[in-house]
Amino acid sequence: MPAEPKRPPPLEHQLCYSIYSAGIAIQRAYKPLLDALGLTYPQYLVLNVLWREDGQTIGALAEQLALESSTLTPLLKRLEAARLVRRTRNPGNERQVIVALTDEGRALENRAGCLGEALLDASGQTPAELGDLNREVRRLRDGIYSRIGRWSPDRP
């Protein structure tokens, strides 16, 4: 008699679903703030990376955001159309495109503030609790990458 196939546990018992749905909930909490800035969450993430270190290649941005360059390019085009970034060819390597903030993109940082305040309010947790959770999720992510290999934009 063949063994009965294993069934997946219900979604509420799956860590991957909890993390996925928590991400959606967080984005919903951020949405009113991002709408007021005229940004999507992925656009905010790109700007956040550039606010920390301006003038990065598309490849470097893709690596930090765990996105494919082909996914990032249309997003960058929209940010450029909104006059928040500019894309230029690297004079030292014509194959590379450098993404840099415009004056408007830099000024938006002050208006954006910290979305963490919205998360604190929406979650009902303390900064220490959210900090502990963030460290645990990063530890999980890093542990997974240490076993499957780092994400790379060149990897299929």
Rounded CA separation 55/22 (Å): 31
pTM: 0.84
Contact present, 113 and 24 (Cβ < 8 Å): no
What local confidence, expressed as pLDDT, does residue 130 receive? 94
What confidence category does residue 67 fall into, taking pLDDT thresholds of 50, 70 and 90? confident
Tell me which residue has tokens 């503030």: 113
Could you give phi then psi for residue 150, rounded to 5 degrees? -60, 150
What confidence category does residue 151 fall into, taking pLDDT thresholds of 50, 70 and 90? low
pLDDT tens digit string along 22-62?
999 999 999 999 999 999 999 999 999 999 999 999 999 99
The DSSP code for 40 is -
The answer on pLDDT for 76 being more than 70 is yes
Contact present, 73 and 65 (Cβ < 8 Å): no
pLDDT tens digit string along 84-132?
999 999 888 888 999 999 999 999 998 887 788 888 999 999 999 999 9
Domain chopping of the chain, boundaries? 13-113, 114-148
CATH ID of 13-113, from 2.40.10.340, 1.10.10.10, 1.10.260.40, 3.10.450.50: 1.10.10.10
What local confidence, expressed as pLDDT, does residue 91 receive? 87
Helical packing angle, 127-148 and 116-123, nearest 10°: 110
